[in-house]
Chains A and B, each alone.
Chain A
Amino acid sequence: MKITEKPVAFYPEFVRKSGPHKETTHYCPGCGHGNIHKMIAEAMVDLGINERTVFISPVGCSVFGYYYFDCGHMQAAHGRAPAVATGIKRANPEAIVISYQGDGDLAAIGTAETLHAANRGENITVFFVNNAIYGMTGGQMAPTTMIGQKTATTPRGRIETVHGNPIRMAEIIATLPAATYVERVAIGDSKHIMKARKAIRKALTNQVENRGYSFVEILSTCPTGWKMDGPDARDWLVEEMTKVFPLGVFKDESDHREGAWHRHVETFEPAKRDAYLGAGEAEAKAEKLPLPAELHCKFAGFGGQGVLTLGLFLAQVGMRAGLHASWIPSYGPEMRGGTANCSVNLSERRIGSPLVDRPNLLVVMNQPSLEAFTGEVVEGGTIIVDTSVVENCPELPGRRVVRIPATGIADEVGTPKVANVVLLGAICAATGAFPLAFVEQSLRETVKKKDLVDLNLAALRRGYEHVRDAV
């Protein structure tokens, strides 16, 4: 097939194009894009993939790719095509995704997206049209502009020490282990074009065969941007550009990547999701336990003592009792210095603020917490103190202070780690909020490791009895 013929994946008439001339492309005469488009369309037809293909139009002269190709199209923001391609391919691995990008799009604003899509080894095909200039925006410097090349923003030519050097993307991509195939071609003379056509076909074949990420850099002409006529542009491309951007294959693992990048998408059955999340399970026995008084609690101590978990235990017991319950860890300076605290509310009514600024139950497991929070406890409130850790605990008028050597008791039970469960027992006895048996049952369900259940139950009981007997 001669490249002057239109493959069927190329629309015979460009109806999406604005203006009257529906048979001509919008590209300037002598521009490389037209040839590259035709070679891609030709490969799409030969591989029988045009209906499966999603072509991503970048920002730049080729933003109107959708005028020409008879396939699905998504137009992406400048530089973001590889990310969009990722989203497409992951949603439907059967789709053939082409990311067609210019040098600004791929090597400047979209460098991160380019490298990372390649690094993930997305099973996509990237055609990188490198014409060493920003065409559409009016001939400014590109990351690939040559040293000495004059552009609208390098009027005296690109200078290495001012503007940096032309970036060789093919070489960079080739260093990434996940990339399958990286080649640089050119559309200079007919020999070059033959090679380019082969590379384009190979890059698409790789995707069809699920061989992973393919990257073809195509040196292309921009007579308008370069301020040259067509033949001069072609000569400059062949003579100057190929010196800086050598042609050739930089990486090719196409042969031993067979099918490795096919990522299967399973059906997303509702029944499967329900089973996985436990939705629709028979509701845990809806015991409705009356709460003698609303609890607005603060639990505070050192990080690692289990104060946050203690709050969580209590809140979960509340939920099992059919109550409204909330738990929230603290933000702010108390979080630093290893001190942690959380707020828990239990109520028969809807809970307003989950934050407790005036607790009626304060449980403290260290001295700083006692000092920080006792002043906030409301009149008639209860303060439970782990006296194994907190030594100075004065009487507080109007507040009930419950002293329990929780960490010591936990040690006797087996490990200081269950001091928080000892305190849970103490809370039950001190507040009368829940019957011991109910909390025992909750704990059985909450503690994940079965061999720890007995230890926890013993700790709970000891804490409960200690307070009950002291009363």
Chain B
Amino acid sequence: MSRKFMKGNDAIVVGALQAGCRAYYGYPITPASEIAHAASLHFPALGGTFIQAESEVAAINMVYGTAGMGIRTMTASSSPGFSLKQEGLSYIAGAELPCVVVNVSRGGPGLGNIAPEQADYFQVTKGGGHGNYRLIALAPNCAQEMCDLTVLAFDLADTYRNPVCILADGFTGQMMEPVNVPLARPVPFDHTSWCVRGDAATHRNLISSIYLESADLERHNLKLDEKYRRIARDEVRFEEYQVEDADLIVVAFGIVSRIVYSTVDQARAQGLKVGLLRPITLWPFPSDRIAELSRRDVRFLSAELSTGQMVEDVRLAVEGRAPVHFYGRCGGMVPGSEELLAEYGKILEGGRS
């Protein structure tokens, strides 16, 4: 490994290349554009493909085509562009194709602004497009994870033949940190059984999401559902900091988890027993762990760059056993340490649901 100081957005491209991603399709949008910039430089230099598509819609469908060939491929965008990809994601999930989609999210709804927000949580974790499907959603909080979780994303996509979303935010995309560049690996997946490569071995295969007969479509949906249950059981990832004896467990992901991390020690210095639970997979959500923690005398606080989205999943996991609070900023406003500490104090002093 070698250590390089790089932007989160660039680290995504490094991770993708080292994971064996061979084709990038995308459309520029702030604050995700550096991913396209880096991809346009590196993919062709290595003999891979970069196309600046005519739209986000076209980009995700180019991904569909390449994924159907059994080749690792990706696209990246930011919130408004991610919305445009929903149609394609539904088809890709329906046809069970592996691919990676990055959403370096920004403020919305609508055009919003280019500042970071986490208000695409619902869209990313609950489907977004039409029909019964799920994206595996990974939430990096540093440049190293932008790289490493991208590698993981490709493996998960191939394992489950499902699109995987990396939900980052403008901060994790724009900040620079040291990154250990992982070694490149050969792709261990053989997709001959289902892909369509344009060769004799695969020419009887069919990639499609159409099931005209109701019974067939139900069967297909149940099969997908079974897969999503397996993912929910086996792929939950999260990180904890000082939760064991915490009176207040702050649930936060992405950039907010970094800010919360900074405040945990400060809070403890003030005598407030605060801990951090950071979901790394937003779907599947670490519901079981939260449920387990909620069985003792504890309070939860969901801190987000939104008006309250992940908090619903926290509440579902807690099932009323413990108070669940919410603190959010949006539009590019981020909670400072002092602001958060004040909030912790307020909650622990008497509680305010």
Contacts and interface: CB of A to CB of B under 8 A. Distances in A.
Which one of A80, A113, A281, A353 has the greatest number of beta carbons of chain B within 10 Å? A353
A112 B54 contact: yes
Contacts of B54: 112-113, 115-116
B42 A279 contact: no
Contact of B208 (A57, A350, A353): A57
Interface in A85-117: 85-92, 94-97, 112-113, 115-116
A66 interface: yes
A83 B3 contact: no
Interface in A309-323: 312, 315-316, 319
Given A87-B25, A315-B5, A51 B69 contact: no
B203 A72 contact: yes
Contacts of B199: 51-52, 92, 94-95
B259 A72 contact: no
B332 A332 contact: yes
Contacts of A326: 175-177
A204 B55 CA distance: 28
Nearest to B179: A319
A280 B261 CA distance: 31
Contacts of B260: 352
Contacts of B197: 72, 92, 95
Contact of B64 (A84, A95, A328): A84
B183 interface: yes
Interface string B82-107: 00000110010001000000000000
Contact of B57 (A80, A95, A352): A80
Contacts of B61: 76-77, 80, 83-84, 87, 113
B209 to A, nearest CB: 7
A18 interface: yes
Interface stretch (B15-23, B159-167, B281-289, B306-314): B15-23
A73 B205 contact: yes
A91 B22 contact: yes
Contacts of A315: 5, 176
Contact of A327 (B22, B68, B175): B175
A296 to B, nearest CB: 10
A71 interface: yes
B196 A355 contact: no
B322 interface: no
A439 B9 CA distance: 27
Contact of B23 (A50, A90, A316, A351): A90
A354 interface: yes
B208 A73 contact: yes
B42 to A, nearest CB: 7
A276 B334 CA distance: 37
A456 B308 CA distance: 49
A365 interface: no
A331 B200 CA distance: 53
A327 B142 CA distance: 11
A270 B183 contact: yes
B62 A86 contact: yes
Contacts of A350: 261
A367 interface: no
B336 interface: yes
B2 A281 contact: yes
B323 to A, nearest CB: 25
Contacts of B17: 273, 276-277
Contacts of B177: 325-327, 351, 354
A97 B259 contact: no
A281 B172 CA distance: 26
A388 interface: no
A172 to B, nearest CB: 15
Contacts of B73: 87, 91
B183 A272 contact: no
B65 A74 contact: yes
B33 interface: no
A315 B68 CA distance: 43
Interface of A, helix, strand, loop or mixed by DSSP: mixed
Contact of B65 (A91, A267, A274): A91
A397 interface: no
Contact of A74 (B45, B48, B55, B208): B208
B302 interface: no
Interface string B67-88: 1110101000000000000011
Interface in A348-389: 350-355, 357-358
A328 B91 CA distance: 37
Contacts of B28: none
Contacts of A316: 5
A88 B212 contact: no
Contacts of A329: 174
Interface string A407-424: 000000000000000000
Interface in A103-134: 112-113, 115-116, 120
A450 interface: no
B258 interface: yes
Interface in B1-53: 1-5, 14, 17-18, 20, 22-23, 25, 42, 45-49, 51, 53
A437 interface: no
B174 A328 contact: yes
Given A80-B61, A353-B261, A72 B48 contact: no
A266 interface: yes
Nearest to B261: A352
Contacts of B57: 80, 83, 112-113
A92 B69 contact: yes
Given A88-B65, A328-B176, 16 more contacts: A52-B198, A73-B196, A75-B208, A76-B64, A83-B58, A84-B68, A92-B199, A272-B46, A278-B4, A319-B178, A325-B178, A327-B5, A327-B177, A352-B263, A355-B171, A358-B338
27 contacts: A72-B197, A72-B203, A75-B207, A76-B64, A84-B64, A89-B65, A91-B65, A92-B198, A116-B58, A268-B20, A274-B183, A274-B184, A277-B181, A277-B184, A279-B1, A279-B2, A283-B1, A283-B3, A327-B176, A331-B174, A332-B115, A352-B258, A352-B259, A352-B260, A352-B262, A353-B262, A354-B175
The 5 closest A-B pairs by CB, nearest first: A87-B65, A95-B198, A266-B47, A352-B262, A72-B196
